[in-house]
């Protein structure tokens, strides 16, 4: 089935999806596709492809300083098309507010529709490198909820310009949720109100930011349900397997790492022991989530194909 929400509603099997990042400019797409190949034996139903806002560089030529965008990781739409054709797996491109006007957003959505892509993860996106806060484009969206509204209107055949007998798109819309709240929100309760606004605008399901404590997900879901958010909430996970990750992930993604997981990695005598401890911890977390009855599992691979394979091997080989 082509849409995430259709799979969630009509299949008894657990939804399993991966998230990958386009290669840096100048690198081959084969770097990404070869990394996906070993994971295909686990039969993911969807593969998300991230999108990154360009950062601005200033160049001086003949005494004139010009400002131009430089995108480090282009190719999201092309990679989605390659995934669909090569692996016969439905891609889920990320679409962000940053660096897009409403008109450019509409053009991108039309292109994706023509490619037969029916799933979108709608995000505000982070500020570009070197920029302290998010600044929308002129005629762009400031919040992800506004982006969701535009996609939902296009699904009803409502384009920016009034057209005669326009075709409606058929996008399934996913959005992000934050069990530990978005770092810009004053508290979790306020952040949940923002999430509800995205769902009310037309979002079909939620994928959470990575977390490492089952209690955080459980309480997040309970609080979301209490305020009327009834769409599926898919947990997002990332295996942590070395010391560098436990040092960089908290600041990069604004998440906490439980003391038990930190100890497993920091107190390991070898890199192999640290890796095994991290996989064991994450596999136990997945088991608790499955017992809780989650609608699916989403894994942020982020170039860590070996760790993802090891986690999936541990989960799928476990007796049930």
DSSP for 187-205, written as a single string? SHHHHHHHHHHHHHHT--E
CA count, 13 A, side-chain hemisphere, 270: 3
In the chain, domain spans: 4-316
Number of H helices, E strands in the chain: 11, 10
Q: Between the CA atoms of 99, 105, 107 and 109, what dihedral angle is there, to the nearest 10 degrees?
A: 130
Give the model's pLDDT for residue 320: 53
How many Cβ atoms are within 10 Å of 293's Cβ, its own excluded? 8
> Which residue bears the tokens 């007998």?
165
In contact, 195 and 166? CB cutoff 8 Å:
no
Q: How far is CA 165 from CA 18, 82, 105, 156, in A?
A: 37, 32, 21, 11
Which positions ≥6 away from 133 have C-beta within 8 Å?
127
Q: Which fold has domain 4-316?
A: TIM Barrel (3.20.20)
Give the model's pLDDT for residue 2: 85
User: Residues 57, 62, 63, CA angle at the centre, nearest 5°?
Assistant: 70
Nearest to 306 by CA among 56, 34, 66, 111: 34
> Which residue bears the tokens 């349900």?
225
pLDDT tens for the chain, residues 1 to 320: 589 999 999 877 889 999 999 887 777 788 888 889 999 999 999 999 999 776 555 555 665 655 555 666 678 999 999 999 999 999 999 999 998 999 999 999 999 999 999 999 999 998 877 777 888 888 999 999 999 999 999 999 999 999 988 999 999 999 999 999 999 999 999 999 999 999 999 999 999 999 999 999 999 999 999 999 999 999 999 999 999 999 999 999 999 999 999 999 999 999 999 999 999 999 999 999 999 999 999 999 976 689 999 999 999 876 55
Instruction: Quote the tokens at residue 162.
Output: 């009034």
- How far is Cα of residue 218 from the mean position of the Cα atoms in its chain? 20
Give the model's pLDDT for residue 95: 97
Indicate whether this model's pTM tops 0.85. Answer: yes
Give the pairing type, strands 90-96 and 205-210.
Answer: unpaired
CA count, 13 A, side-chain hemisphere, 112: 30
Q: Which residues are catalytic?
A: 19
Q: Which helix (H) or strand (E) holds 279?
A: helix 271-292
Give the SS3 label for residue 48: strand
């Amino acid at each position: 089935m082509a849409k995430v929400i259709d799979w969630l509603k009509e299949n008894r099997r657990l939804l399993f999806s991966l998230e990958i990042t386009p290669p840096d400019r100048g690198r081959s797409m084969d770097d990404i596709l070869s990394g996906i190949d070993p994971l295909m034996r686990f039969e993911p139903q969807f593969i998300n492809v991230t999108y990154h806002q360009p950062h601005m560089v200033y160049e001086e030529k003949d005494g004139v300083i010009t400002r131009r965008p430089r995108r480090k990781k282009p190719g999201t739409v092309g990679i989605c098309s390659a995934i669909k054709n090569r692996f016969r797996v439905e891609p889920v491109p990320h679409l962000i507010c940053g660096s897009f006007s409403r008109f450019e957003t509409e053009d991108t959505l039309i292109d994706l529709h023509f490619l037969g892509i029916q799933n979108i993860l709608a995000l505000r996106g982070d500020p570009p490198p070197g920029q302290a806060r998010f600044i929308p484009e002129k005629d762009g969206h400031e919040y992800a909820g506004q982006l969701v509204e535009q996609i939902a209107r296009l699904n009803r055949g409502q384009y920016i310009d009034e057209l005669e007998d326009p075709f409606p798109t058929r996008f399934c819309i996913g959005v992000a949720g934050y069990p530990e709240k978005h770092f810009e929100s004053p508290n979790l309760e306020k952040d949940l109100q923002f999430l509800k606004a995205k769902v009310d605008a037309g979002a079909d399901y939620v994928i959470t930011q990575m977390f490492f404590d089952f209690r955080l997900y459980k309480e997040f879901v309970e609080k979301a349900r209490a305020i009327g958010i009834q769409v599926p909430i898919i947990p997002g996970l990332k295996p942590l397997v070395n010391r560098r990750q436990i040092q960089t992930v908290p600041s990069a993604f604004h998440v906490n790492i439980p003391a038990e997981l930190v100890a497993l990695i920091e107190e390991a005598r070898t890199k192999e022991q640290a890796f095994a401890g991290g996989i064991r911890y994450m596999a136990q977390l997945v088991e608790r989530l499955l017992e809780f009855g989650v609608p699916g599992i989403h894994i942020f691979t982020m170039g860590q194909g070996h760790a993802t394979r090891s986690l999936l091997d541990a989960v799928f080989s476990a007796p049930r």
